[in-house]
Amino acid sequence: MLITGGAGFIGANLAAHLLSMGRAVTIYDNLSRPGVERNLNWLRAQFGDTLQVRVADTRDAQALRDAVAGATQVFHFAAQVAVTSSLADPITDFEINLRGTLNLLEAIRAERHPPTLVFTSTNKVYGALADVELETTPTRFQPRYTHLRQSGISERRPLDFHSPYGCSKGGADQYVLDYARSFGIAAAVLRMSCIYGPHQFGNEDQGWVAHFLIRALQRRAITVYGDGRQVRDILHVDDLVEALLACQSHMPKLRGCAFNIGGGPQHTLSLLELLARIGELQGHPPRVTHAPWRVGDQRYYVSDTRAFQGATGWRPRVSPEVGVARLHDWLRAQAFQEEHDTAGAHAA
If one compares 340 and 234, the residue with the highest pLDDT of the two is 234
Cβ atoms of 314 and 308 within 8 Å: the answer is yes
Q: CA distances (Å), 189 to each of 17, 244, 288, 296, 308, in order? A: 21, 10, 36, 22, 11
Biggest CA pair distance of the chain = 63
Residue 145 annotated as catalytic = no
Q: Does 337 score more than 90 pLDDT? A: no
Count of other CB atoms within 10 angstroms of residue 89: 13
* Of 3, 37, 36, 38, nearest in space to 19 by CA: 3
Looking at residue 204, what is its pLDDT? 67
- Looking at 82-86, 105-109, 204-208, which range is the least confident one? 204-208
- List, in sequence order, every residue forming a beta bridge with 41; answer none if it has no partner: none
- Position 343 confidence tier, pLDDT thresholds 50, 70, 90: very low
Q: How far is CA 345 from CA 42, 45, 333, 335, in A?
A: 19, 20, 18, 15
Mean pLDDT of 227-243: 97
Residue 18 has pLDDT above 80, yes or no: yes
| Residues 150, 143: Cα–Cα separation, whole Å | 9
* Residue 203: strand pairing partners: 206
Query: Distance from first CA to last CA of the chain, Å, rounded?
Result: 41
CA nearest 115: which of 78, 75, 85?
75
DSSP state of 48: G
In percent, how much of the chain has pLDDT > 70?
95
Q: What percent of the chain has pLDDT over 90?
A: 87
Which pLDDT value is given to residue 342? 43
pLDDT in tens, 123-139: 999 998 989 999 999 99
Domains, the chain, ranges and CATH? 2-338 (3.40.50.720)
Q: Is 16 exposed, middle or buried (0-12, 13-18, 19+ CB in 10 A)?
A: buried
Model pTM? 0.93
pLDDT attached to residue 338: 57
Structural contact between residues 72 and 108, judged by C-beta atoms closer than 8 angstroms: no
Q: What is the pLDDT of residue 311?
A: 98
Q: Do 10 and 195 meet the contact criterion of CB atoms below 8 Å apart?
A: yes
333, containing H or E segment: helix 320-347
* Average model confidence (pLDDT) across the chain: 93
Average pLDDT over residues 173-181: 98
Contact (Cβ atoms closer than 8 angstroms) between residue 224 and residue 288: yes
Q: What does the pLDDT read at residue 340?
A: 37
Give the residue from 100, 252, 120, 244 showing the smallest Cα distance to 184. Answer: 252
> Alpha carbon 164 to chain centroid distance?
18
Average pLDDT of the segment spanning 55-74: 97
The predicted structure's pLDDT at residue 115: 98
pLDDT higher than 80, residue 341: no
Confidence of residue 201 (pLDDT cuts 50, 70, 90): confident
Which pLDDT does position 202 carry in this prediction?
Answer: 72
Determine which one of 165, 179, 300, 301 is catalytic. Answer: 165
Residue 203 region by backbone torsions, left for phi larger than 0, else alpha for psi between -120 and 50, else beta: beta
Confidence of residue 86 (pLDDT cuts 50, 70, 90): very high
CA–CA distance, 40 with 46 (Å, rounded to integer): 10
The mean pLDDT of 272-278, rounded to a whole number, is 97
Q: Which of 94-103, 272-281, 288-297, 300-309 has the lowest mean pLDDT?
A: 288-297
Strands 134-136 and 141-143: antiparallel
Q: What is the rounded distance in angstroms from the CA atom of residue 80 to the CA atom of residue 120? A: 12
Say how far apart CA 73 and CA 180 lie, in whole Å.
Answer: 15
Please give the pLDDT value at position 297.
79
Q: 307-336 pLDDT, tens per residue? A: 999 999 999 999 999 999 999 999 999 875
Is-contact 219 287, C-beta < 8 A?
yes
Q: What is the pLDDT of residue 35?
A: 81
Q: Residue 158 has what DSSP assignment?
A: P
Identify the bridge partners of residue 143 per DSSP, sorted by sequence position.
134
CB atoms within 10 A of CB 297: 15
- What is the C-alpha to C-alpha distance for residues 6 and 36, in angstroms, rounded to an integer? 9
pLDDT the model gives residue 339: 46
Residues in the chain: 348
Residues 6+ apart with CB under 8 A from 92: 80, 85
pLDDT for the residue 336: 53
User: What is the rounded CA–CA span in Å between residue 342 and residue 348?
Assistant: 10
**Adjacent-strand bridge partners of 260:** 191
